[in-house]
Amino acid sequence: MTIETAATATASGLCLAGLRKEFRMGRGGVVALDGVDLESREGQFLSLLGPSGCGKSTVLRILAGLDTPSAGTALVHGEPPETARRLHHLGIAFQDSALLPWRSVAGNIRLPLEISGVKVPSSAVADLIGLVGLDGFEKARPAQLSGGMRQRVAIARALVVEPKVLLLDEPMAGVHPALARRIGELLVGLCADGLTILMVEHELAIMDEFCDPVVAMAEGAVLAQGTMSELRQRSDVVEAYLVG
């Protein structure tokens, strides 16, 4: 895929072309991404696999509009990330749920639209609370919730804008396996309705069951992509990530 391909991509899914990111450090620099190409169709559930420092978080930050590439193109639903965020086409739930401690579950979920001056129907918030399995906790404060519950509030908050694309950073971290599976099933259902999801995750069982494709990264570049079964046939991927 070339930058020209990205420029003419259809308005769906994600598209990265020739993505490079270099961080300046004194007289030198560190290359975090080096020629990353990645494309998804609408409704896919992608996951990034790789060790710390391979560039996964940098990809998320660029797609979220929180960082800019040194070169290359990043499109979210056919739009630059900043445009996608402004039009509420992009939802974000990073590992730190970043909930406001003085707000209730319902208040935190409403927040993105309230900031934009959009009135949020109570029924819409109630539907999201039910969707993520938090019925009865509408008035609870973040300090009264477990880590997994706070993560589900963050996912509901990202969904309140009705995004086309959802970015997730380790949504299963610290979550009981049974609950992680429930979250995975929830996300698969959202993809079936047309939502595109890109997730950074370290739990191989979650990626194996729910994600297609899984994108393996190494040293700032894409090493391989496919289902977990396909990646297990790659000796370089097995040696890097899947041994043991």
Instruction: Render pLDDT for 14-29 as a digit per residue (tens, 0 to 9).
Output: 999 999 999 887 777 7
Question: Based on the domain organization, do 142 and 174 belong to the same domain?
Answer: no
Question: Based on the domain organization, do 145 and 183 belong to the same domain?
Answer: no
- Assess whether pLDDT exceeds 90 at residue 142: yes
Question: Based on the domain organization, do 8 and 42 belong to the same domain?
Answer: yes
pLDDT band for position 242 (cuts 50, 70, 90): low
- Assess whether pLDDT exceeds 50 at residue 177: yes
- Assess whether pLDDT exceeds 60 at residue 105: yes
Q: Of 110, 138, 162, which marks where a domain is finished? A: 162
Structural domain includes residue 142: yes
Of 136, 131, 135, 180, nearest in space to 157 by CA: 131
- Assess whether pLDDT exceeds 80 at residue 10: no
Specify the pairing of strand 28-39 against strand 165-169. Answer: unpaired
- Assess whether pLDDT exceeds 70 at residue 3: no
Structural domain includes residue 131: yes
Structural domain includes residue 82: yes
pLDDT band for position 7 (cuts 50, 70, 90): very low
What are the DSSP E strand ranges found in 95-230?
A: 165-169, 196-200, 214-218, 221-226
pLDDT confidence of residue 11: 57
Of 164, 144, 153, 91, nearest in space to 125 by CA: 153
More confident residue, 172 or 157: 157
Structural domain includes residue 94: no
Backbone angles phi, psi at 18, to 5 degrees: 60, 35
Question: Based on the domain organization, do 124 and 64 belong to the same domain?
Answer: no
- Assess whether pLDDT exceeds 50 at residue 69: yes
pLDDT band for position 233 (cuts 50, 70, 90): confident
What mean pLDDT, rounded, does the chain reach?
Answer: 86
Specify the pairing of strand 221-226 against strand 71-76. Answer: unpaired
Question: Based on the domain organization, do 129 and 236 belong to the same domain?
Answer: no
Question: Based on the domain organization, do 29 and 75 belong to the same domain?
Answer: yes
pLDDT confidence of residue 243: 56
The one-letter amino acid at 216: A
Task: State pLDDT tens for residues 122-132.
Answer: 888 999 999 88
Residue 148 domain boundaries: 99-162
